[in-house]
Amino acid sequence: MRAMMLKELAPIDSNPLELVDIPIPEPGPEEILIRNKVCGVCHTDLHTVEGELPQVKLPIIPGHEVIGIVEKRGEIASRFKEGDRVGVAWLNSACGECEFCLRGYENLCVNARFTGYSVNGGFADYMVVPEKFAYIIPERLYDDSEAAPLLCGGIVGYRALRFSEIKPGQRLGLYGFGASAHIAIQVALFWECEVYVFSRSEAHRALARKLGASWTGTSKDNPQTKLHSSIIFAPAGELVLDALAVLEKGGTVALAGIYMSPIPEMDYVKYLYQERTLRSVANATRQDGEELLRIAAEIPIRTVTQVFTLEEANNVLHLLKAGKVNGAAVLQISGTKDLER
């Protein structure tokens, strides 16, 4: 099978993903083999490739926003049948037994494994995943490329919305307007929030206005009102001070990224006092994913995508780093015909 494999951590400018031909993996007893149809491309993939995340398993096949078809089941796997359409997200497995799993925080599991980071992911023709960690994808609402961004940007954005403690009718700030934010805004508007979008890109601001943002500007612009909650999607630590500067008393800023550059030193009274909260969002649980997919079908959420071939994975990560993807990038891996094996 074809796969875009990372053998050494390197800047994306060096095109570190290599097209290789490797055997199709065999599913374990409780796993399913998936024929990948599409895989979304996420900033986490970029951070993985460039070595900004610790303990990346090498060699690795990135990709964790997968839509595919169940091709084969392990000997005791029974949740799906061959031919079912399923999705795979960032959380690949959790032990279910550690302190965090028992408290409902499987996203913090001490033995967690992550798709495209500690186990091979979706930048390939096939992959395996524990059946308990695959998602049922509503057939009637989404084609493959529309559904893929929901599986990371959508899920993490939804958890960030919850952790921002935003309430219906309140004012929400979104910093950075890529794949995750363009989904989160649709949930926030469904909750009747007023959304303010901060982005360096005029193309991203235009998309935000098209999707219903009440105000758009850069992080240095003053929205002329205080915001009850904000979510920072961009991996830029300096945005934390910008967001806190326009946050209402008692408000929350949630950091939705898995990686962020250093946060500058701050004046406590100016930025954080008056019971303002700054908190991170780490990964997501299966419950987050299931809730997001339900609400996505109810709204319904519409994703904006740019579609590329599997072989263009390096180029897509270039574009992502440069902020030149409007909405979400998706790799088309297989079409209507089965791939040759």
Q: Are residues 137 and 191 in the same domain?
A: no
Q: Are residues 165 and 41 in the same domain?
A: no
Main-chain phi, psi angles of 280, to 5 degrees: -95, 160
Residue 340, domain member (yes or no): no
Q: Are residues 126 and 77 in the same domain?
A: yes
Residue 84, domain member (yes or no): yes
Residue 228, domain member (yes or no): yes
Q: Count how many domains the chain has.
A: 2
Q: Are residues 147 and 209 in the same domain?
A: no
CA angle 321–37–315, rounded 5-degree value: 25
Note down pLDDT in tens along the chain; length 341 residues.
999 999 999 999 999 999 999 999 999 999 999 999 999 999 999 999 999 999 999 999 999 999 999 999 999 999 999 999 999 999 999 999 999 999 999 999 999 999 999 999 999 999 999 999 999 997 766 899 999 999 999 999 999 999 999 999 999 999 999 999 999 999 999 999 999 999 999 999 999 999 999 999 999 999 999 999 999 999 999 999 999 999 999 999 999 999 999 999 999 999 999 999 999 999 999 999 999 999 999 999 999 999 999 999 999 999 999 999 999 999 999 853 343 33
Spatial contact of 114 and 89, defined as CB atoms under 8 Å apart: no
Q: Are residues 268 and 204 in the same domain?
A: yes
Alpha-carbon distance 284 to 152, whole Å?
Answer: 9
Residue 74, domain member (yes or no): yes
Q: Are residues 146 and 161 in the same domain?
A: no
pTM for this prediction: 0.94
Residue 204, domain member (yes or no): yes
DSSP string of 126-156?
Answer: EEEEEGGGEEE--TTT--HHHHGGGGTHHHH
Residue with tokens 């390197």: 10
Euclidean distance between the first and the last CA atom of the chain, given in angstroms as a whole number: 6
Domain containing 197 equals: 155-280
Q: Are residues 178 and 194 in the same domain?
A: yes
Q: What is the DSSP letter of 72?
A: E
Q: Are residues 15 and 148 in the same domain?
A: yes
